[in-house]
Structure 1
Amino acid sequence: MHVTANSKEVLPGSIFFALKGAKYDGHQFINQALALGAGKIYTEYETGHPEAEVLGKGARKKLAELASEMADHPTHGLKMIGVTGTSGKTTTTYLIHHLLSHNAIPCARMGTNGGFFKNKEVQTSNTTPDPVTLQNWFGQVKRLGAQAVVMEVSSHALDQDRAWAIAWDAACFLNLSREHMDYHPTLEHYLETKSRLFLEHADYSKTLNKNPALFVNRDSPYGLVLAKKSKDIQTFSAYDQIRNLKNTPTGISFEVNLDGTFLPATCPLFGSFQTENILAALSVGLALGISPKHLLEVLATFPGVPGRMESIANERGVFVFVDYAHKPEALEKVLQSLALNEEERSQGRHILTVFGCGGDRDKTKRPVMGEIATRLSDFVYVTSDNPRTEDPLQILKEVESGISLKNYQVIPDRAEAIRLAITNAKAGDIVLIAGKGHEDYQIIGTAKLHFDDREQARLALKR
């Protein structure tokens, strides 16, 4: 059996799904699929083709179910862990991957940075790929020896049933804030979409003899709402389970309550906001049978995440961090975690921030992020960040519209903004370069040009 939603991939006898996408409508390619020998056509709406069967909204689930069947149902024999939330998904999946892989559970990882297991990599254009790509990848990593898969599950993937037909063993909800509001009409719709992983998907997994452990962050007000939707949901809380949190030159140290007793722990991550990601990962590890002692031993060796509070080493004594924070809540959390105390300020230390907002994306967050950056920084360099097909200067004006303070400068050229921030930083100062993180490109118009904040920071530090 061969299943596809791409008419170019149709083979004689293929099952072709005509689906309406953001850019293209698969229903327009039915004739092409038939000409290539498609044996069966499923559609979302009536097209007048006698060969096609209309499935309506059920077409996407049917595609996912057949994709799983075509790949011999790989997730039925894997420990499957899904992580959802507006911020922190990537860091949490990296943490879970590290905890499991170093506790005799070979684990693969799928998300924003691609798909990885040992030397097998699958680059993805979406956080969660299409069902056929996804199920085939599960099959590949399983054959390579993976016993578990941890993956980011985006709201788009849940809404479009790209993550359907997966037999889940665990799921985590981290938080929810304004993001993708160009896709979701309301925050309530956004939450409803995220909730599907813990309700509809969890129920489906039970029919496959799985009993998924469901974890929700109750420190998030939306987490509290979600937790009430199912008696199967367990919660975690940094307020209740973390104490004596301290920032250190190499990360954070704290005490954590996992089984009724507070235990000492360290993690080479920067920022108090990381505790919700850490607790989510530890909760999954416990659910899979790993002892608190072994989890905390491995947590201390976590290597970090590319582009997530990534420290750029230098000999100037400037603390330079590159982070993916491109949403209001994420930017606020990062800057709050970097806040200087009175003693540090008395030493003349400052926080300098470089950030911008993406084009062809939610415009409402632009003034909000401008306000956050200037309120929580000593000086801000407002710059470009993937303007895409929008006018970069217009984006910058919209960011400026939310700023009431005078502690900022608009520098459209991102490389120049990074250079200025680092040049003006003194020993002891903190420079946060936010928005792109691991990305190694800048999208201007429709062109994808090489650009890496980390490379630009290192160049600036050498000058």
Structure 2
Amino acid sequence: MLVRLKSYIPKSLFNLLRPLYHWSLITLATLIYRFPARRLTVIGVTGTKGKSSTVELIGALLKEQGYLVATASTIRFSVAGQEEPNRLKMTMPGRFFLQQFLRRAVSANCQYAVIEMTSEGAKQYRHLFLYPDTLVFLNLTPEHIESHGSFENYREAKLALARALLNSSKPKRTLIANSDDPESVHFLALNIPNKITFSLQDVAPYQIFTNHLTFTWRGQTITSPLAGQFNLSNLTAAITVVNYYGLTPEVIKRALEKFNGIPGRLERITLPASEPLAANQDFTVIVDYAHTADSLEKVYELFSDSKKICVLGATGGGRDTWKRPVMGEVAGRYCDSIILTDDDSYDEDPEKIVKEVAAGITNQNYQIIIDRRQAIKTALHEAKTGDTVLITGKGTDAYLMGPHGTKMPWSDAAITREELIQELHARATGD
């Protein structure tokens, strides 16, 4: 609707009315669904990276304690165990959806709602009337710069989420912030009544491997199937939150050691053990949501000991063009073979997008295959014993977005598994 209005209203008047439009919608939605957040303990999670993983972890830990929990993230929506994938192409859904989701949580007798909260959502007032009890700040690095106009504006949008906590009607408002991130000082400077910090020092000593990590917390040595220092930071955030809400170290250890990982986040693609071809897979295949240069670098660093065949795009047309060559530069430094492909090009020419990514690659170890399935197929075909194939940018995204609003059903994990079966079959039969 807003796009249609924009074509009829002068730009200056449109910019003046836009905040009123967004405020009116969130107010109407909250009235229709009768202020559901007031009936829940609401935990918001914000940051540039790790939000979905942290939401998933907090939800799993609270469920282990026996609580009924609702979670909303880029990955999925869950209400008291009833799950559905997030197919909305939005991290923080539109106002009516989110308020309806919270009303469903209340109706299902949930005690907690854990919600991924974003700067884009804050721009459209989607955070209003969520009445958070706790806000978790993870990190802040450049992202959505073209949308916000500058990194400072991006930070300010994130701080709007913290001010919503400051102004919440809940009695015990708490900010939980990552003190390892230098941007946390801006959040900790706010006059929020209760502030807690967390750091990797809280879980030292720790060891990080490519398929798991171990750490120590409150006398408990914990092994998690998650990997990477970034996931250890997410784990530390989640532990700090649930410990604040009363979970014991023993419950936390039990929950984390049976936690099976997060879809689309360092997700290992293998075949079921019952599949005869499974034994023939002598290389690693990873699907990950990494869509910023910093995230790519952290994923690539984790697999520094193996040859890396990397499939990536620029994570979307029409936005953040500044980061395209930067992502190419990171891939060029870490990857042994690079395949550039389509990744939600929307109304931009996908070939133009990947060429802008390629501009940052200082060596020539790349090829362009616009068809994403074919790109994945080629990467798997290249893989040799001990190699790692890294397919990044989409994670659990359910669609490939094209021009004029077109979208094609998609799953990086499912497509990769299909192509893996074909590749292993071809190798076994000599085809």
Provide, for residues 236-267 of structure 1, a one-character-per-residue CA deviation record: whole Å limited to 9, x for no partner.
11145332313164x221223xxxx4531121
Check conservation: 1:383, 1:413, Cα contact below 8 A: yes
Q: Extract structure 1 runs of 4+ deviating beyond 6 A.
A: 26-29
* Higher percent of residues as helix: 2
User: Which stretches in structure 2 are left out of the alignment for 5+ residues?
Assistant: 271-277, 424-431
Distance 1:45 1:404, change over 3 A: closer
Residues 1:215 and 2:176 are matched in the alignment: yes
Cα displacement (A) at 1:89: 0.8
Pairing 1:170-249 to 2, within 5 Å after superposition = 170-199=134-163, 201-205=164-168, 208-230=169-191, 232-247=194-209, 249=211
Is the 2:89–2:397 contact (alpha carbons within 8 Å) kept by the matching residues of 1?
no
**Which residue in the other structure is 1:79 paired with?**
41
Asked if 1:113 corresponds to 2:93, the answer is no
Any residues of structure 2 matched to 1:7-26 within 5 Å, and which? 21=2, 23-25=3-5
Provide the C-alpha distance between the structure 2 equivalents of 1:451 and 1:131, rounded to a whole number of angstroms.
26
Residue 275 of structure 1 aligns to a residue in which SS?
A: helix
| Larger displacement relative to structure 2 (88-97 or 298-307) | 298-307
The residue that corresponds to 1:269 in the other structure is 226
Query: 1-side partners of 2:186 and 2:370: how far apart?
Result: 41
Partner of 1:307: 264
Query: In 2, distance between residues paired with 1:229 and 1:95?
Result: 26
Provide Cα deviations, 1:383-422, integer angstroms capped at 9, x if missing partner: 2211121111111111111111232222222222211211
Name which of structure 1's ranges 167-176 and 112-121 shifts more when overlaid on structure 2: 112-121
- Listed as ranges, the matches of 1:50-129 within 5 Å are 57=19, 60-61=22-23, 63-117=25-79, 118-119=81-82, 121=84, 124-129=88-93
Equivalent of 2:292 in 302, 315, 327: 327
- Contact 2:50-2:230 at 8 Å conserved across structures: no
Where in structure 1 are there 5+ consecutive unaligned residues? 1-5, 7-20, 30-43, 47-53, 341-348
TM-score normalised per structure 1? 0.82
Provide the C-alpha distance between the structure 2 equivalents of 1:351 and 1:56, rounded to a whole number of angstroms: 46
What amino acid is the match of 1:246? I
* Residues in 2 aligned to 1:373 and 1:92: alpha-carbon distance in whole angstroms: 26
Partner residue, 1:344: none
Sort the Cα spacing of 1:56 and 1:371 in 2 relative to 1 into closer, same or farther, 3 A. Answer: closer
Alignment: residue pair count: 406
The structural deviation recorded for 1:181 is 1.4
Q: Check whether the contact 2:132–2:170 (CA below 8 A) recurs between aligned residues.
A: no
Structure 1 residue 304, shift from structure 2 partner: 1.8
2:380 alignment counterpart: 422
2: CA distance, partners of 1:440 / 1:132: 21
Query: How far off its partner does 1:68 sit?
Result: 2.7
* Aligned residue in 2 for 1:398: 356
Query: CA distance change for structure 1 residues 55 and 364 in 2, over 3 Å: closer, same or farther?
Result: closer
For residues 359-378 of structure 1, the aligned pairs below 5 Å read: 359-378=317-336
**Which has more radius of gyration?**
1
Contact 1:71 1:136 in 2 (8 A): yes
Distance change (3 Å), C-alpha of 1:174 and 1:290: same
2:247 paired residue among 290, 293, 296: 290
Whole-Å Cα distance in 2 between the matches of residues 63 and 453 of structure 1? 34
| Alpha-carbon distance, 1:450 to partner | 2.7
Q: d(CA) in 2 for partners of 1:242 and 1:406?
A: 41
Corresponding residue for residue 127 of structure 2: 163
- State the SS of the aligned residue for 1:330: helix
Listed one character per residue, the Cα deviations across residues 276-295 of structure 1 (whole Å, up to 9, x for unaligned) are 11111111101211112211
* Percent identical: 33
Paired residue secondary structure (2:77): strand
Q: In the alignment, is the contact (CA less than 8 A) between 2:142 and 2:151 conserved in 1? A: yes
User: Could you give the per-residue CA deviations for residues 299-342 of structure 1, whole angstroms, max 9, x where no partner exists?
Assistant: 111122211111101431211110111111111111112221xx
For residue 273 of structure 1, give the secondary structure of its aligned residue in structure 2. Answer: helix
CA distance in 2, matches of 1:441, 1:63: 27
Instruction: Assess, with a 3 A threshold, how the Cα gap between structure 1 residues 59 and 253 changes in structure 2: closer, same or farther.
Output: same
**Does structure 1 retain, via aligned residues, the 8 Å contact 2:345–2:402?**
yes
Q: State the alpha-carbon separation in 2 of the partners of residues 74 and 178 from structure 1.
A: 33
Give the partner amino acid of 2:182.
P
**1:210/1:87 CA distance change after superposition, 3 Å:** same
Distance in 1 of aligned mates of 2:167 and 2:13: 25
Partner AA of 2:293 in structure 1:
P
SS at match of 1:179: coil
Q: Write the distance in 1 (CA, Å) between the matches of 2:4 and 2:356.
A: 30
Kept after mapping to 1: 8 A contact 2:51/2:116: yes
Name the structure 1 match of 2:301.
336
Question: Could you tell me how far 1:26 is from its partner in structure 2?
Answer: 8.4
TM-score after normalising by structure 2: 0.87
- The one-letter code of the counterpart of 1:119 is Q
Which residue identity lines up with residue 178 of structure 2 in the other structure?
N
Matches within 5 A, 1:145-156: 145-156=109-120
